[in-house]
Copies of this chain bind each other. A is one copy, B any other.
Amino acid sequence: MAEPAERKPRKDAARNRAAALAAADDLFARCESPESVTMADIAAAAGVGKATLFRAFGDRTGLIHALYKARLEPVGTAIEEGPPPLGPATPPLQRVPALLDAVLRFKLDNRHLALALEGAGGDSPYQADHYQRWHGMLQAILERIPGLTDSDFTAHALLAAVRADLVEHLAGQGGVPRERMREQLASFVAKVLDSRTSSGTSSG
């Protein structure tokens, strides 16, 4: 009752929305810098007016979020309710690297999109729901590792290692091949998890 909202959209509206997403997806994939893809470009490529974009998605970041969310859904559910090594049945010490590897692969597979999202506008990526989701999941898993402290910060720090622009820098300019990068990340995560987890907080 509190939410009668959400009438089902009209047919043409749905079609236009889909066309916009497809066009945007395509443009972001092709173009070098996400900045170079303008809303007018997307509208033109989708064969709709600019206003249609803004009506459907609110603003530029809304569009990018919608795109990202669609791509992200499979990964999210795979982690939340899928089979091992990603799913909840996996013991934490294996699940953490699996999760980060999944995130890395996702960013490698969606480089331009991820870049567009994290570089979007100037509002911090840490506000975005998808980040909150990943961080929440990772932190929850970390918390189940005995002796590991500061799960909140640790989750942030680990996720920072797979930030889109870093991945792009390494894969793009750095020329680091995919598998090599996965190994390096795995090795790094292992270091964090393997260490004798007596908190070494040296005071001051």
Q: Is the Cβ of B191 less than 8 Å from the Cβ of A200?
A: yes
Are A160's CB and B166's CB within 8 A? yes
A40 to B201, CA, bound (A): 46
Q: Which of B123, B170, B186, B199 contacts A156 (CB 8 A)?
A: B170
Complex partner residue of A157 from B173, B188, B195, B201, CB under 8 angstroms = B188
Complex: chain B residue closest to A183, CB-CB = B201
Closest Cβ–Cβ distance, residue A85 to chain B (whole Å): 11
Q: Quick check: is A179 within 8 A (CB to CB) of the other chain?
A: yes
Q: A38 at the A/B interface (Cβ < 8 Å)?
A: no
B residues within 8 A CB of A203?
183
* Contact assessment for A34 and B122 in the assembled complex, using a CB-CB cutoff below 8 Å: yes
Interchain CA distance A160-B163 in the complex, whole Å: 8
Given A153-B184, A184-B150, A191-B195, decide whether A169 and B126 contact each other with a Cβ distance below 8 A: yes
Give every chain B residue within 8 A of A127 (Cβ-Cβ). Answer: 169, 173
Cβ of A61 within 8 Å of any chain B Cβ, yes or no, is no
A172 to chain B, nearest CB (A): 9
Chain A positions within 8 Å of B, measured between CB atoms, are: 33-35, 119, 121-127, 149-150, 153-154, 156-157, 160-161, 163, 165-166, 168-170, 173, 176, 179, 181, 183-188, 190-192, 194-197, 199-204
Identify 9 new A-B residue pairs, CB closer than 8 A, beyond the known A194-B200, A195-B196.
A33-B123, A124-B165, A154-B184, A154-B188, A156-B166, A183-B203, A188-B192, A190-B202, A191-B197
